Structure 1
Amino acid sequence: MADHERGWSSYRPSKTLWGWSLVGASALTMVLGFTWGGWTTSGRAGVMTDIAVRDARADLVASVCVHNFVTANDAADNLKSLKAKSSWERDDFIKEGGWATIAGIDETVTNATDDCADQLMKLKELPQATDPVVSDS
């Protein structure tokens, strides 16, 4: 049999070639994993967690703020006043009204008043108050 007929069956790579192949495959796996595979470092995961916690707190406080605003006695007048304000004055109007204040949270929650104002601006009209459901039990 001629050398060209044996092909890959007789090929025996050296230990050096095996070593560099392993290093290259490992590097390629890491590059693909971190770019397209969704892998992340612990530092990046910590940052993502902090952002998610901050956003969740802002959403919670904004929801409470909208509820407090809508259930206030003069909600219709307040909504008209809020809609008359410019976009950079709305969060101050919400803060001054005290609707974003929650007992037990002393510090200001980032983005909560902006989210509250945005949700209120989307309202076409105030929702009707519903009576609580009373069970016969």
Structure 2
Amino acid sequence: MTRRRDASTPDLFRDFTPPPVVERFAPERVKAARCSARVARAVAEAIKESGRSRDVVANMMGDYLGETITVAMLDQYSSVANERNNIPAHRLVALLAVTGDLRLMNALLADTDVIAVHAKYEALIRREMAKEARDKLDREINAADAQWRAGR
């Protein structure tokens, strides 16, 4: 006999949606025809969503890098119209360090088959890769055993 669900008990997981595995900007926020424009939009979004002024972000980036970063530079890096002044990689990393927004890297990597994830997941990824390698070895061992039993 099947048990009926207790209608008076709320379903705790009904409205639960797990967080995304890979942090990305909403596509409409960084949509662009070129990678450089997508990154410029991502830079603008990350700065805006950081809750800090551009002046504070520029100073923090400068402190991180040990060089001078100005608000005008951030304005250029976040301008889609300014195609000549893309943000250099080391400054993109500094912006990531200052904002903590990993979506910046994934905006850059969007046209590749690579993603950026937090370092805390490295051990889990390594474990899964080891499991895949073990499964492959198990298949090879089973195939060799079958061949041996078949007398070949």
TM-score by shorter chain over 0.5: no
Q: TM class, shorter-chain normalised? A: under 0.3
Higher Rg:
1
More helix by share: 1
* TM-score, normalization by structure 1: 0.28
* TM-score, normalization by structure 2: 0.26
Q: Which has the higher contact order (CA 8 A, sep 6+)?
A: 1
